Amino acid sequence: MAGPSTGSPALDQIVARLGGTADPKRRYEYVLWLAKKLQPLPEEFRTDAFKVKGCVSQVYVVGQLEGGKLHWQGDSDAAITKGLLALLIEGMEGLTPEQAAAIDPSFIAATGLQASLTPSRANGFLNILRMMQTQARTLTGSVAEARPADF
Of the candidates 99, 96, 44, 42, the one whose C-alpha atom is nearest the C-alpha of residue 66 is 96
Vertex 127 angle, CA 45 and 81, to 5°: 70
Phi, psi of 63 (to 5 degrees): -105, 135
Catalytic position from the list 14, 18, 38, 55 = 55
Instruction: Show Cβ contacts of residue 29 under 8 Å, excluding neighbours closer than 6 positions.
Output: none
First to last CA, the chain: 44
CATH architecture of the region 9-144: Alpha-Beta Complex (3.90)
Report the DSSP beta bridge partners of residue 72.
Answer: 63
Domain-wise residue ranges, the chain: 9-144
> Catalytic residue at 55?
yes
Please give the average pLDDT of every successive group of 10 residues along the chain, which has 151 residues: 76 95 92 96 96 92 96 97 97 97 94 87 94 94 45 36
CA 96 → CA 8, 12, 69, 72, distances in Å?
10, 16, 5, 12
- Please report the pLDDT score of residue 3 as a whole number: 54
What pTM, to 2 d.p., does this model score? 0.89
Of the candidates 111, 107, 129, 110, the one whose C-alpha atom is nearest the C-alpha of residue 54 is 129
Q: What is the DSSP letter of 111?
A: H
- Please report the pLDDT score of residue 35 as a whole number: 97
- Please report the pLDDT score of residue 148 as a whole number: 40
